[in-house]
Amino acid sequence: MAEYELAVRGGMVATGFGTARCDIGISGGRIAALAGRIADAAETIEADGLLVLPGGVDSHCHIEEPQPDGSVIEESFLTASASAFAGGTTSVVCFVPQWKGHGVWERYRDHRRRAAGGMLDYAFHQIISDPTDAVLEEELPRLVAEGVRSLKVFLTYDALHLTDAGYLRVLAAARRLGCLVTVHCENYDAITWRTGALLAAGLTAPKYHAWSRPPVVEREATHRAIALAELVDQPIQVFHVSCAEAAEEIARAQARGVKVWGETCPQYLTLTAADMDRPGFEGAKFMCSPAPRDAAEHERLWEMIRRGVLDVVSSDHSGFSFEGERGKRRHGAGAPFRDIPNGVPGLAARLPLLFSEGVAKGRITLDEFVRLTAWNPARLMGLAPRKGAIQVGADADLVLWDPRRRVRLTNALMRHAIDYTPYEGMEVTGWPVATLRRGAVVMRDGEVTAEPGTGAFLPREPYAFIRPRGVLADGFDAAPAPGR
């Protein structure tokens, strides 16, 4: 019997902390050895001339979420898995919804059932939109016991936003339970007010979506989310930072020692508000929240990435098709922007876009690319070193990446359920030629070969970096002394 079940040979292995030319020996779905030469393997994959990267970890994806009205968003775990593998991503953290007036446990069980049908490995963020005692004190501890270790809250959206009081309750519960809290930071009241004013003035086209939520609205909520987390002494991650002024609030907080992390997404590095002004309702394809800004903002965000202020790039994959009864054009091409579902798909495009715009164009290094897309999200989400790392004992989630391949993006290449990609026609340099998930080849040359139902749930441990400073209840013990 061979020493290893599989060997990946001859690639340049990039761990996020330097590269080394070496072979990888895999057994039982895990990395069993890294060595200059692994001869004794049952099977071999040749990686000459290719980079070998840890499988992408996408810590911000919306997949198959049921809605209160009984419908379900169109991207299923099956289609999402294909899309992820096609783009070099092997695990995700996606969302379990909570509907106001309902609990979370049932939704969690339902989502486990749904996710079991896919091929991706997955962990869950539990959305909290109704932080009742029952949810926080009875259901959440059960979820945590199952290994759900991050909560998601929204500071905007009619159906989802929390008041500060609700957000504080979630922070305090997270602190008790050892969870991370992730936050969508935009000011609900401000957006509502501006939206009303715009619509009243007859300014309804897709491009006014951006007008309804300018950067100051994001900066305000970012500062508030951080300040309240400081009060409770609870770590948070700020999701999808779209502009430097919001990122600067994160930087300032980090500089004073606050445990806050920042994420951005490819759409904020490549799309602009002007895209929403494309003719004939096409603009709706580029609507997401926060809204894309302008090209100068892209460069400022790259600088924030290089500074480490933003250390995760995820997709916020959350698309709706353009056509169809639940599509962006569901209410017709004259629908006011408020009524157009927003979100853009990006599960497959994330790595190619970031590699091409980042590494190939010299804005970031290969090390930074790997950390942004795999190591950092895995570590922050408590998935490392099982995920996001190429080291002995880690899951053998690997991507064979051709750094020179030039590809023109099309929706077909995305392999998702959505009928368009906002990146249609963009040319990228760098492309995944094969993807391995736990030692099995699940994608080769665009062909996805995994069996439905092979994805694994990823339970997580308590966060090591969450060290309560005191002993009283509800975060109160963290209260700084009055003079502070």
Residues 51-80 that bind a copy of itself (CB under 8 A): none
Q: Does 273 bind a copy of itself (CB under 8 A)?
A: yes
Quote the least distance from Cβ 340 to a copy of itself, whole Å: 16
Which residue of 375, 401, 420, 463 would you call a contact of a copy of itself, by CB under 8 A?
375
Burial letters 41-67, b for 16+ CB under 10 A, else e: beebbebeebbbbbbbbbbbbbbbbbe
How far is residue 423 from each of residues 160, 289, 300, 351, measured CA to CA in Å?
A: 28, 17, 21, 13
Strand order in the sheet with 398-408: 19-21, 12-14, 51-54, 398-408, 427-437, 440-444, 447-448
Q: Which of residues 184-203 bind a copy of itself (CB under 8 A)?
A: 187-190, 192-194, 197-198, 200-201
Quote the least distance from Cβ 456 to a copy of itself, whole Å: 20
Nearer to a copy of itself, 194 or 326 (CB): 194
* Ramachandran class of 438: left when φ > 0, alpha when ψ lies in -120 to 50, beta otherwise: left
Total interface residues for a copy of itself by CB under 8 A? 84
Q: Which of residues 102-141 bind a copy of itself (CB under 8 A)?
A: none
Q: Does 474 bind a copy of itself (CB under 8 A)?
A: yes
Q: Does 228 bind a copy of itself (CB under 8 A)?
A: yes
Which residue of 152, 184, 240, 293 would you call a contact of a copy of itself, by CB under 8 A?
293
Structure tokens at 125: 């963020």
Nearer to a copy of itself, 24 or 127 (CB): 24
Quote the least distance from Cβ 65 to a copy of itself, whole Å: 28
Q: Which of residues 152-191 bind a copy of itself (CB under 8 A)?
A: 163-165, 168-169, 172, 187-190
Contact indicator for 424, 411 with CB cutoff of 8 Å: yes
Distance CA 62, CA 74 (A): 10
Candidate segments 119-127, 296-304, 420-428, 450-458, binder of a copy of itself by CB under 8 A: 296-304
Report the SS3 class of residue 182.
strand
Structure tokens at 46: 């040749």
Which residue of 257, 279, 280, 334 would you call a contact of a copy of itself, by CB under 8 A?
257
Which residue in 122, 110, 20, 60 sits closest to 457, CA to CA? 122
Q: Does 230 bind a copy of itself (CB under 8 A)?
A: yes
Q: Does 484 bind a copy of itself (CB under 8 A)?
A: yes
Candidate segments 33-41, 73-81, 353-361, 436-444, binder of a copy of itself by CB under 8 A: 33-41
Q: Which of residues 333-372 bind a copy of itself (CB under 8 A)?
A: 362
Candidate segments 78-86, 299-307, 315-323, 406-414, binder of a copy of itself by CB under 8 A: 299-307
Which residue of 32, 128, 148, 284 would you call a contact of a copy of itself, by CB under 8 A?
32
Q: Is 166 exposed, middle or buried (0-12, 13-18, 19+ CB in 10 A)?
A: middle
Which residue of 107, 176, 379, 437 would you call a contact of a copy of itself, by CB under 8 A?
379
Nearer to a copy of itself, 198 or 414 (CB): 198
Q: Does 1 bind a copy of itself (CB under 8 A)?
A: no
Contact indicator for 477, 468 with CB cutoff of 8 Å: yes
Q: Does 294 bind a copy of itself (CB under 8 A)?
A: yes
Q: Which of residues 390-409 bind a copy of itself (CB under 8 A)?
A: 391-394
Which residue of 62, 114, 184, 223 would you call a contact of a copy of itself, by CB under 8 A?
223
Which residue of 217, 250, 301, 400 would you call a contact of a copy of itself, by CB under 8 A?
217
Structure tokens at 394: 């880690």
Quote the least distance from Cβ 116 to a copy of itself, whole Å: 29
Contact indicator for 132, 468 with CB cutoff of 8 Å: no
Nearer to a copy of itself, 36 or 332 (CB): 36
Nearer to a copy of itself, 68 or 193 (CB): 193
Q: Is 257 exposed, middle or buried (0-12, 13-18, 19+ CB in 10 A)?
A: exposed
Which residue in 428, 307, 442, 423 sits closest to 364, CA to CA? 307
Nearer to a copy of itself, 64 or 218 (CB): 218
Q: Does 22 bind a copy of itself (CB under 8 A)?
A: yes
Nearer to a copy of itself, 244 or 265 (CB): 244
Which residue of 308, 336, 403, 468 would you call a contact of a copy of itself, by CB under 8 A?
308
Q: Is 334 exposed, middle or buried (0-12, 13-18, 19+ CB in 10 A)?
A: exposed
Structure tokens at 140: 């959440």
Give the E-state strand segments of 322-425 in sequence order: 398-408
Q: In terms of DSSP bridges, do strands 19-21 and 23-27 run parallel, antiparallel, or are they unpaired? A: unpaired
- DSSP string of 4-59? EEEEEES-EEE-SS-EEE-EEEEETTEEEEEES----EEEEEE-TT-EEEEPEEEE
- Alpha carbon 306 to its chain centroid, in Å, reads 19
